[in-house]
């Protein structure tokens, strides 16, 4: 017993200092708020105790609820598309098509680029007059994007950013799926062949069920990524938060996802509100992760 505690104590200590203390301190901050006269030399010490006021203010603020909704929409656009695209790429490359090594590197490459660099490139691609996407749509007889832009209007801004991030992130998902595919024993496919399974049946009855842990993993990490999404929105809206629109009578910025809203609160020194928002988002993340595990993780043996 003693030695057990002794050996885990370094980890417990590190976790306590770098994980548990910050969580507890954030909880403490979420019950306080900076005032107009808070000295920067003692910002946290001079914060005023406000009880649950930060939480109350957030849950009655339409801008906060829009940021949650926008994050949900973004997650719905991003996660299933990235998982599906990554899986499709992995299946293509797993079948060892000619030149698959070059394709593997090419698809993975965007993942290593900084989000800001990718954002600037996509801003050029999305230019409504001179960008290739606008030209493509124009040549198909659709000039809506030339008139309204891609990231310039509340309707298409979230799908446009999600599309850019799917193309950036699917290379990494593809590598994960390739690793998982390589770990499926060949004998299972041979058994399916003996049973006379068609390629479609092998995909839906053998491959995908066996990849379920990896799909679950990508869904959960994707969810965390969507909740933390900030840089792509900052870069693709030129730090502005996107075009404005009216949401239940309040003016909101259409690309103001929760990560962006959190950044604005923090940037303007509303540390208490920012901490409170983090805990509310944590609650949402836990609920969604639980739902994911409940429906995708209950049976891994297929």
Partner 1 sequence: MRIYLRSLSLGVLLALASLAVAAEEGTIRLVLWQGFKYSEVGELTANVEEFTKSWNASHTPRIEIAVQQVSFDDMVKRMKTAALAHITPDMAFVDANSMVSLVYGQVARPLDTLKNFPPNGIEELRKEYVPGAFDTNVVEFGGKKHLYGLPAQTTTLALFWNKKMFRDRATELKAAGLDPERPPRDWDEFIRYGKILTQPEKGLFAYGLTNSLWFSMPIMNQYGVSLVRRDENGVLVPNLSNPRTEAAVNRNVNFFLKDKVEAGAWREGQLDPGQGFLNQKYAMILIGPWMIENFRASKLDFGVALVPRVPLEEAKRLGLVPPDADDNSTAAQHLSSGNIGGQNLMVVSASKHPEVCFEFARFFSSEKVQRGWAEKLGQIPICVAAQKNLDLSKFPEVPTFIEQVNLARPLPPLPFGGTLEVDIVNPEINLVLQGNRSTKDALASIEKKMAARILAPVNEAEAAARDSAK
Residues in touch with partner 1 (CB under 8 A): 35-44, 123, 126-131, 149-153, 157, 236-238, 240-246, 251-253, 264, 267-269
Q: State in angstroms the smallest separation of the CB of 263 from partner 1.
A: 11
Nearer to partner 1, 37 or 295 (CB): 37
Rounded CA separation 225/46 (Å): 33
Judged by beta carbon, residue 73 or residue 192, the one nearer partner 1 is 73
Q: How far is the CB of 39 from partner 1 (least distance, A)?
A: 4
The residue length of the chain stands at 302
Of 61 and 103, nearer to partner 1 (C-beta) is: 61
Minimum distance from residue 71 beta carbon to partner 1 (Å): 18
Q: Smaller CB distance to partner 1: residue 6 or 40?
A: 40
Helices 100-112 & 62-94, crossing angle to 10 degrees? 160
Residue number, 50 or 252, with CB nearest to partner 1: 252
Answer whether 63's CB lies under 8 Å from 256's CB: yes
Residue 145: CB minimum distance to partner 1, A: 9
Query: Rounded to an integer, what distance in angstroms lies between the CA atom of residue 281 and that of residue 241?
Result: 19
Please report how close the Cβ of residue 242 comes to partner 1 at its closest, in angstroms: 7
Would you say 91 or 123 has its CB closer to partner 1? 123
Q: CB nearer to partner 1: give 36 or 97.
A: 36
Tokens of 7: 């050996």
Comparison of 225 and 243: residue with beta carbon closer to partner 1: 243
CB of 75 to partner 1, least distance (A): 21
Residue 278 contacts residue 202 (beta carbons within 8 Å): no
CB of 301 to partner 1, least distance (A): 48
Least separation in angstroms between residue 283's CB and partner 1 is 25
Rg (CA), the chain: 23
């Amino acid at each position: 017993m003693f030695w057990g505690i002794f050996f885990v104590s370094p980890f417990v200590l590190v976790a306590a200092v770098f994980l548990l203390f910050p969580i507890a301190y954030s909880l403490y901050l979420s019950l306080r708020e900076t005032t107009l006269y808070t000295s920067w030399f003692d910002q946290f010490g001079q914060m005023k105790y406000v009880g649950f006021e930060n939480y109350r203010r957030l849950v009655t603020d339409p801008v906060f609820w829009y940021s949650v909704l926008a994050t949900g929409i973004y997650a719905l656009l991003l996660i299933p598309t990235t998982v599906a695209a990554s899986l499709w790429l992995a299946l293509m490359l797993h079948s060892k098509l000619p030149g698959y090594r070059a394709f593997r590197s090419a698809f993975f490459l965007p993942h290593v680029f900084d989000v800001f660099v990718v954002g600037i490139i996509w801003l050029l691609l999305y230019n409504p007059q001179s960008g290739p996407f606008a030209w493509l749509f124009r040549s198909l007889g659709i000039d809506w994007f030339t008139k309204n832009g891609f990231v310039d209007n509340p309707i298409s801004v979230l799908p446009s950013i999600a599309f850019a991030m799917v193309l950036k992130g699917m290379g990494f998902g593809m590598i994960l799926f390739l690793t998982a595919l390589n770990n499926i024993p060949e004998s299972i496919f041979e058994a399916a062949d003996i049973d006379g399974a068609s390629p479609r049946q092998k995909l839906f009855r053998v491959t995908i069920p066996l990849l379920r842990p990896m799909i679950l993993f990508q869904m959960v990490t994707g969810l965390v990524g969507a909740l933390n999404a900030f840089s792509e929105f900052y870069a693709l809206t030129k730090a502005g938060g996107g075009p404005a629109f009216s949401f239940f009578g309040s003016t909101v910025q259409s690309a103001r996802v929760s990560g962006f809203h959190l950044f604005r609160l923090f940037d303007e020194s509303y540390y208490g509100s920012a901490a409170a928002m983090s805990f509310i988002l944590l609650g949402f993340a836990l609920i969604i992760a639980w739902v994911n595990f409940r429906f995708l993780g209950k049976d891994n043996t297929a």
